[in-house]
Amino acid sequence: MGKPTGFLDYERQSNPWLPPEERLQSFAEFRRDLNEAERRRQGARCMNCGVPFCQSGMTLAGMATGCPLHNLIPEWNDEVYLGNDRHALDRLLKTNNFPEFTGRVCPALCEAACTCGLNGEAVTVHDNELFIIETGFANGDVKPRPPAVRTQKKVAVVGSGPAGLTVADQLNRRGHNVTVFERSDRVGGLLMYGIPNMKLDKSVVQRRVDLMTAEGVTFCTGVEVGKTRRAEELTAEFDAVVLCCGARQPRDLTVPGREAAGVHFAVNFLTANTKSLLDSGFTDRRFIDAKNKRVVIVGGGDTGNDCVGTVLRHGCKSVVQLEMMPKPPEERGENNPWPQFPRTLKTDYGQQEAAARFGHDPRVYETTVKSLQTDGKGRLKAVETVKVAMQGRTPVPVAGSEETLPADLLIIAAGFTGCEEALPTAFGLPLTPRRTLATTGGSATEKPGIFAAGDARRGQSLVVWAIAEGRGCAKEVDEYLMGYTNMMV
């Protein structure tokens, strides 16, 4: 602990964001870095607790709190303060394969459990992590390190999202020969097409893919296993197959008028937007354009917020975000004490931008869609909403609370219901009642040599959980291939 009084001497200072109206002019990342001296001071705020809840990764009151990767947070915070950037990088990479991703898009479960947050403001763990990895890249300390010895074992990884990339990275470092199959035209899964560019610039994803390629991982894009490549071919050619296909089946609306033109799933909306941006800077027009449209977004979570930020950058006429749950409190309630994850109001970048553009938060709480109205040509013209009251976990419509919102574009960001069925069917694998791939306790499926990890196994979750899943799965695969394992989780 380099500065025992750091948490008393220095106030929390997060990475600054560009003003909303300025960042709305492009799809570029809008976060900026602190100067180096201030970043060192932020590292000094870490208390090096006797019990560092920040790295606990435990479950309290049904919610995760603390880092699922069990990052060595007090150790590398201290190294940041002392200026030992290479040591900080070494400690960070022991537990996290891709800090450049989590440092941008993770909701910082670590900070929710930070002891400084008990009586003040948490340490800027999230920002410190990003500083460490980006400094490592800038200094040339992050470079290809292919394994010195190969095992001659071959592993196929289906899906190149964060779980698939983690499995591939871990097993390649162990010396196995890894091939990753991705059905899209670019590697990265949700990192590439599910998260908008302003949150995670795609050059950051490609930089990591290029590094892994230089280390010996083979990436095959445009390959849809079960269709363009038979499952039986993979099981015959490879010693193990890992399915990291995500949980991409979107939850739909079952309301009158659902067939109206102008209704889209968020995953399709965001994918088309990013692909057009990367392919042509939007000149190909192969995206769902919200310019001058009245937009309604169903879903108040992170994906809904990403859709808000995207339609604002298109130049929408208006945007409303419907949230079925009640508005969270501004501060922790007595039934939500530290170190539980705080169930408090979060106003993210998209909502900030909407407030700056239109003068109010776009969210409408305790509200859902009752029906959709169309014009004479089958195009969406309005969304009829209704208030709901929660009875336990069940939303019940409130009679007489209906309202009509003019709308030209409706985006459904209501979450996901599990795996798409084609891949499990191709491998003859059963699904759980939650429609995720069934495993026998860990990552192994009922079929020898076939494993599952990430959202495909646990359901829709966070990038940090996908990395944790990938590390655990890789350890199981290594033991299956070699009869033992010395890999870290």
Summary mean pLDDT of the chain: 96
Per-residue pLDDT tens digits for 37-50: 999 999 999 988 88
- Phi first, then psi: give them for residue 242, nearest 5 degrees: -115, 125
- Helix H or strand E segment including 58: strand 58-60
Distance CA 84, CA 76 (A): 9
Is the distance from CB of 180 to CB of 250 less than 8 angstroms? no
What percentage of the chain reaches a pLDDT higher than 70?
100
pLDDT of residue 199: 97
Per-residue pLDDT tens digits for 336-355: 999 999 999 999 999 999 99
Same-domain check for residues 19 and 50: yes
Per-residue pLDDT tens digits for 440-477: 989 999 999 999 999 999 999 999 999 999 999 999 99
Tell which of 86, 106, 138 closes a domain. Answer: 138
* pLDDT of 222 over the 90 cut: yes
35, amino acid identity: N
Same-domain check for residues 173 and 117: no
Tell which of 412, 441, 472 closes a domain. Answer: 412
Report DSSP state, residue 83. Answer: T
Same-domain check for residues 337 and 441: no
Is the distance from CB of 131 to CB of 211 less than 8 angstroms? no
Q: Lowest mean pLDDT: which of 95-99, 388-392, 434-438?
A: 388-392
pLDDT of residue 372: 98
Residue 350: closest CA among 317, 303, 383: 303
Same-domain check for residues 170 and 234: yes
Per-residue pLDDT tens digits for 89-122: 999 999 999 999 999 999 999 999 999 999 899 9
pLDDT of residue 17: 97
Same-domain check for residues 29 and 85: yes
* pLDDT of 482 over the 90 cut: yes
Same-domain check for residues 270 and 407: yes
Same-domain check for residues 400 and 443: no
Q: Does residue 220 lie within any of the structural domains?
A: yes
| Range among 41-55, 157-171, 331-345 rated most confident | 157-171
What percentage of the chain reaches a pLDDT higher than 90?
96
Same-domain check for residues 351 and 402: yes
Q: Does residue 254 lie within any of the structural domains?
A: no
* pLDDT of 489 over the 90 cut: no
* pLDDT of 21 over the 80 cut: yes
Same-domain check for residues 228 and 317: no
Same-domain check for residues 80 and 134: yes
Q: Does residue 429 lie within any of the structural domains?
A: yes
Residue 1 binned pLDDT confidence (cut-offs 50, 70, 90): low
Q: Does residue 367 lie within any of the structural domains?
A: yes
Buried b (16+ CB within 10 A) or exposed e, 175-210: bbbbbbbbbbebbbbbbbbbbbbbbbbbebbeebbe
* pLDDT of 289 over the 90 cut: yes
Q: Does residue 149 lie within any of the structural domains?
A: no
* pLDDT of 164 over the 70 cut: yes
* pLDDT of 2 over the 90 cut: no
Q: Which residues contact 351 (CB under 8 A, 6 or more apart)?
A: 305, 308, 321, 361, 362, 363
Domain extent at residue 334: 263-412
Residue 76: closest CA among 36, 48, 104: 48
Is the distance from CB of 91 to CB of 55 less than 8 angstroms? no
Q: Does residue 96 lie within any of the structural domains?
A: yes
Q: Does residue 194 lie within any of the structural domains?
A: yes
Q: What is the CATH number of the domain that holds 443?
A: 3.50.50.60
Same-domain check for residues 243 and 193: yes
Domain count within the chain: 3
Same-domain check for residues 110 and 211: no
- Helix H or strand E segment including 104: helix 99-105
Q: Does residue 405 lie within any of the structural domains?
A: yes
Q: What is the CATH number of the domain that holds 44?
A: 1.10.1060.10
Tell which of 89, 113, 138 closes a domain. Answer: 138
